[in-house]
Amino acid sequence: MLVPSFFKDDYFDDFLNGGLRENVKPLMRTDIREIGEDYLLEIEMPGFSKDEIHAELEKGYLTISGVHVGKIDEDERQGKYIRRERNLGKCSRTFYIGENLKQEDVKAKYENGILTVAFPKNKKPEVEEKRTIAID
């Protein structure tokens, strides 16, 4: 297959030769830091808008997911795709962060393609205070 010279790069050459899997970067690469009494997750989610990202906490598991929505238009006036590396779809990752955490303990912020999630690392379970029962 003849390819115009401006499309020549290692990625495209490998794709044509069947070596695509080795070059695919994992989605949602995550760095985890310990800062004082908190943990901080920094999750790469480039290309997502804030309303396409969802975070859920259930039974100690934090699930972060992203869903690209939109339509792919093949309008000939806009040009015909020769190669597409951006696609629509969804991705998610789940982290166990502890059963003692509640929704209000987890803080999230999305900026410049990075989702930052912070939560306390050693939250003790809430125990009811000892109370005296009056005996009649």
- What is the tens place of the pLDDT at every residue in 73-94? 666 667 777 777 766 788 899 9
Q: Is residue 55 part of a domain?
A: yes
Q: For 39-76, write each residue's pLDDT tens digit.
A: 999 999 988 889 899 999 998 899 999 988 766 666 66
Query: Do 48 and 130 contact (CB within 8 A), yes or no?
Result: no
Q: Is residue 132 part of a domain?
A: no
Q: Is residue 62 part of a domain?
A: yes
Q: Is residue 111 part of a domain?
A: yes
Q: Is residue 22 part of a domain?
A: no
The pLDDT value given to residue 76 = 64
The pLDDT value given to residue 135 = 52
Q: Is residue 90 part of a domain?
A: yes
- Cβ burial of 45 (10 Å; 0-12, 13-18, 19+) is buried
The pLDDT value given to residue 44 = 94
Q: In sequence order, which residues have a C-beta less than 8 Å from that of residue 38 and are 6 or more positions away?
A: 118, 119, 120, 121
Domain count, the chain: 1
Residues above pLDDT 70, as percent of the chain: 63
Element (H, E) at 108: strand 107-111
Q: Is residue 129 part of a domain?
A: no
Average pLDDT, the chain: 76
Q: Which domain holds residue 114?
A: 27-120
Measure the CA–CA gap between 133 and 136, rounded to whole angstroms.
Answer: 10
Measure the CA–CA gap between 66 and 90, rounded to whole angstroms.
Answer: 5
pTM of this structure: 0.66
Query: Do 136 and 64 contact (CB within 8 A), yes or no?
Result: no
Among 99-103, 119-123, 127-131, which is the least confidently predicted range? 127-131
Q: Is residue 36 part of a domain?
A: yes
Among 13-27, 99-113, 122-136, which is the least confidently predicted range? 13-27
- CATH number of domain containing 116: 2.60.40.790
